[in-house]
Structure 1
Amino acid sequence: MKTLKSAAIIGACMMSSLVGTQAMAVEGGTSAYLMGSRDSFAGIVPGAGTYVGIDLITFSGTISGLSLGGLPIRADTDVDANLIKVSITHVFDSMLWGGTPAVNFNIPILDVGIDYVAVTPPVTGRAVSDNTSGIGDITITPMLGWHRGNLHYSAGLSIFAPTGQYDTASVNLSPLDVDVLSNGKNIWSLQPVLAVTHFDQTNGREFSAATSLLFAEKNDATEYQTAPAFTLEATAMQHLANGWAFGATGYWYEQLEDDSGQGAANTRAALGADSLRASALGLGPIVTYSSKLFGNPLSLKLKYFREFDVERRFESDILWVNATMTF
């Protein structure tokens, strides 16, 4: 069995995947945090060093009714997105409050498109599409990690900065041109998180879990206040002596109350909805492999999520590949 330090390198994949900004918010069918980011070794802050990660994520989903850029859309809407995330995590060779300090910087580059057939006048029956690409909202996550035998746990605070381009929706009727997507969300968000990992090196069994709360400020451009959201993520893995590991990973997302503000009120009225409160469950397989490249530790990860029991969010299929190297 590989040593805990080598196994913790895979944990750097968790830190390289802590956050993922998309072109929409809960206001637009998704949230600032890309659910399922915290998986294997979620509670481990690894040894001192610099970890550079690349995430390649593709997902497609559908939703019946949402608001994008302040424009309520009643039609069934499809989304297809590709996301590249560049992540740099530095773990300090020092101690703070008995734990190991680290900081993660996450830069997303996105390409998103939506399609729907309008169901409201004056464009009823017309096919509508929009797309956007570019750098999204950057995230910074300071964290602390502790170790006690087979038990490892960490605490962090993700800060989502509104660095991506943002515009409110615009519609031209002749010719029909609908511009509703943006690269960023136009709001600051904070996400405190607690994570734990139990890893037994004698049998290779791992269980990891992370819980977090996401708080977003009001979007002044649309007068829309997204309600706080709770996320619970869990992963069970079997690690082998040859560096491979196999398991299952999943998440539960639940907004704690309904969205508010005039923008939310307008959306509820336009959609004929009693509530915009969102929830989702996701589950799928995960495979990891730990090796070396040019003498440096390398970790690879492949996972897939199928979402179900989704309310007021895009219900998506998500394919996720990660590679992280230690320097």
Structure 2
Amino acid sequence: MTLRRRPSCSIRSRLALGLVSVATGFALLVGPAAAAGPVPTAKPSASSSAAAAPAVSPQPDAAPVTPAALKGDAPAKDYFGAMKGPAPLAARSIGSYAKGCLAGANALPVNGPTWQVMRLSRNRNWGHPDLIRYLQDLAKAAPTLGWNGLLVGDLAQPRGGPMTSGHSSHQIGLDADLWLTPMPNRILSAEERENISAISMVKHPQDKAGADRSVDRSKWTDSHAALIRHAAKDRRVARIFVNPAIKKALCEFETGDRAWLNKVRPWWGHDYHFHVRIACPAGSTGCSDQDAPPPGDGCGADLTWWLSDEPWVPKLDPVTGKPPPVEKKRPMALSALPKDCTSVLTAR
């Protein structure tokens, strides 16, 4: 079995919230995480409606960007993070999930009958129209699965591209993070959407030798499993990423057709949310799909490795007895993206 190289950043840094990134003079507030706790579930009042939701309208970009003003060696996240609205072009996902951009994005409304968008200050509720339709379809089905509704995390920036903080993927408008916390029976305020924490479904800590890497049965339910199964069975979906403990629980949950489990892949983190990735839409010339996952349900030797100490327990330096220092990667340069991403940035 081929061993996987541990990511350069720690698990803790992958899950950290509450960062503030500044990109080319624009401050983008990333919502802080409050102490984890139950989400209020009070019934909505008779006057509650989508109209009462926090109003978040795309703001115009501060100044036009011209091709001559773009510097190929500058961090791409500085340019894309400063964009407040979508490129007025035909909808198209350009490049690959971790190296690309997005034209003609649609915004997922911050409120729907069975969904609410979280962390509104990030302005990351944008996606290819196919992703937006998929999320609306999944949210519509959620109540039939014992799930009140979806709390939706990050999709993409208005024009995709590398983000000012957080994800390395989510660049072409085909990725979405969906919380494993059900939507409450009322409309959350803008402040609540910034401060309510998602709830981890797995036992902690996971980075200790011999740790119990399984779901917390006081939080994880069959409704969680049913929602992920329904999400994965959709033909538009290419991958779903979950914590290995959640993958194990899904393997135990399914007693019938196991084909959908092939799309559900274990990955670091992903204990508070599951990450849905759809395939390149028709008409998105230059969009690169991932290779198909290996055959089988993924519940065998590969999952056994993920549940072992190997991927989780830090390797100590034999001299210092400490974990090796984290290697900080340089931000992706604008020149590393497909050439069409320049047109996406400059479109007005």
TM-score range normalised by the length of the shorter chain: under 0.3
The structure where strand makes up a greater share of residues is 1
* Structure ranking higher on relative contact order (CA contacts 8 Å, 6+ apart): 2
Q: TM-score, normalised by structure 2?
A: 0.22
Q: TM-score, normalised by structure 1?
A: 0.23
The structure where helix makes up a greater share of residues is 2
